[in-house]
């Protein structure tokens, strides 16, 4: 897949297990309790070890559309940003804006913590049933729009769980910036 340069940041799409990435932060598609769950949330909690759950207990949950940061513990990533995406209700409950907010808040937390690289999963597209094509377009646009306020961030990865999700994210990314060599 082709990476894109947006300002000082390199954006790319990959299809792999997010828990294996050596970046400053991976984003967890969390539920509002922040205490683990299924899908990518469960995988991140299992890979990070019990210390992650212990720290998450001190955060007292998180609202939909918001995000909170913890250590990465046993993950190769230094931090986990827990973003709570919306459950899809047909687009009638502000789902698009809440999903965009997850990406924006993730990038804001990267900047606030001086992080240079982050990997996002396809938030809300698993058990929350957000339409994958719509979610990919929102993810890329929200990230691109947030980048000017995050000069510390030089690498943004959209880490997809399936080839189909990867293709949708790549199509959305191709609409922005210039290809990287």
The residue to which tokens 């469960």 are assigned: 42
Q: Which of 17, 41, 66, 96 does the annotation list as catalytic?
A: 41
Residues ≥6 apart with Cβ < 8 Å to 115: 24, 25, 78, 79, 109, 152, 153
Is residue 41 part of the annotated active site? The answer reads: yes
- Provide the Cα torsion 118, 86, 62, 102; round to 10°: 30
User: What φ, ψ does residue 25 adopt, rounded to 5°?
Assistant: -150, 140
Active site residues: 41
């Amino acid at each position: 897949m082709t990476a894109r340069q947006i300002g000082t940041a390199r954006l790319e799409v990959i299809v792999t297990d997010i828990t294996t990435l050596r970046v400053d932060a991976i984003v967890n598609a969390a539920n509002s309790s922040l205490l683990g769950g299924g899908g990518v949330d469960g995988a991140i909690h299992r890979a990070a070890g019990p210390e992650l759950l212990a720290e998450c207990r001190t955060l007292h949950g998180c609202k939909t559309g918001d995000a909170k940061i913890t250590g990465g513990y046993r993950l190769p990533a230094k931090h986990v940003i827990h973003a709570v995406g919306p459950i899809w209700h047909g687009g009638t409950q502000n789902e698009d804006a809440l999903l965009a907010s997850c990406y924006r808040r993730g990038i804001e937390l990267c900047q606030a913590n001086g992080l240079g690289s982050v990997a996002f999963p396809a938030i809300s597209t698993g058990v929350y049933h957000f339409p994958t094509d719509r979610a990919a377009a929102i993810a890329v646009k929200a990230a691109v729009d947030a980048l000017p306020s995050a000069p510390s961030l030089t690498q943004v990865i959209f880490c997809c769980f399936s080839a189909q999700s990867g293709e949708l994210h790549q199509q959305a990314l191709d609409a922005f910036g210039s290809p990287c060599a």
